[in-house]
Amino acid sequence: MEMTRFVVRRNLLAWLVVGAVAGVTATAHAQAPVTITDPWVRATVPGQKATGAFLQITAHEAVTLVGGKTPVAPVVEIHEMKMVGDRMQMRALPNGLAIGAGQTVALEPGGYHVMLIDLPKAVEVGQKVPLTLTFTTTNGERLDVDIEAEVRPLGRMGRPMSHGGLGHGPQR
């Protein structure tokens, strides 16, 4: 799996102060709290208002994926698909997706995923979608991780996502 380049924004001054107080150098904190691999977004057709973003998240410390933002969609939510009885159900995770230290979680079709909602136009194969994923740490610190996700064909890894008739949309 190819490692995707990402940027982590934190309060650097706080890290330096903590490092100085603890007697360690800033380089001891060089490993980011999360690693993101293989990010991709499912292509859409004209008029389609939502799609999913999929990726692998490895947490080096306990975090919760709570949201995100992207210039291609005004609404970004963390969702889960699961079987409830004999029906597939999709819902937003209002408290986010908790990932324990040392765990890797796959966000993939048919499971956890990042929803891009109210798309103003189609996202097309080959396009690169900038996406900022927002995490919180166990001490409540906010962590933004910037990635770029390749748009892949509709048929990739399953059928195109359909939200019609599911009563699915932004939870406002």
pLDDT at 116: 98
pLDDT at 30: 53
- Is 169 contained in some domain? no
- Is 36 contained in some domain? yes
CATH code, domain carrying 120: 2.60.40.1890
- Is 164 contained in some domain? no
- Is 162 contained in some domain? no
As averages over each run of 10 residues, the pLDDT of the chain (172 residues) reads 46 40 41 93 96 98 98 98 89 96 96 97 97 96 97 64 40 37
- Is 166 contained in some domain? no
Write out the residue range of the structural domain in which residue 95 sits: 7-152
pLDDT at 32: 86
- Is 165 contained in some domain? no
pLDDT at 62: 97
pLDDT at 1: 44
Which CB contacts under 8 angstroms, 24+ apart, belong to 91-95? 92/171, 94/171, 95/64, 95/66
pLDDT at 120: 97
- b/e for 117-153, b at 16 or more Cβ within 10 A? bebeeebeeeeebebbbbbbbeeeeebbbbbebebbe
pLDDT at 88: 87
Structural domains of the chain, count: 1
Half-sphere exposure at residue 85, Cβ-oriented, CA atoms within 13 angstroms: 1
- Is 135 contained in some domain? yes
pLDDT at 156: 47
- Is 30 contained in some domain? yes
pLDDT at 84: 85
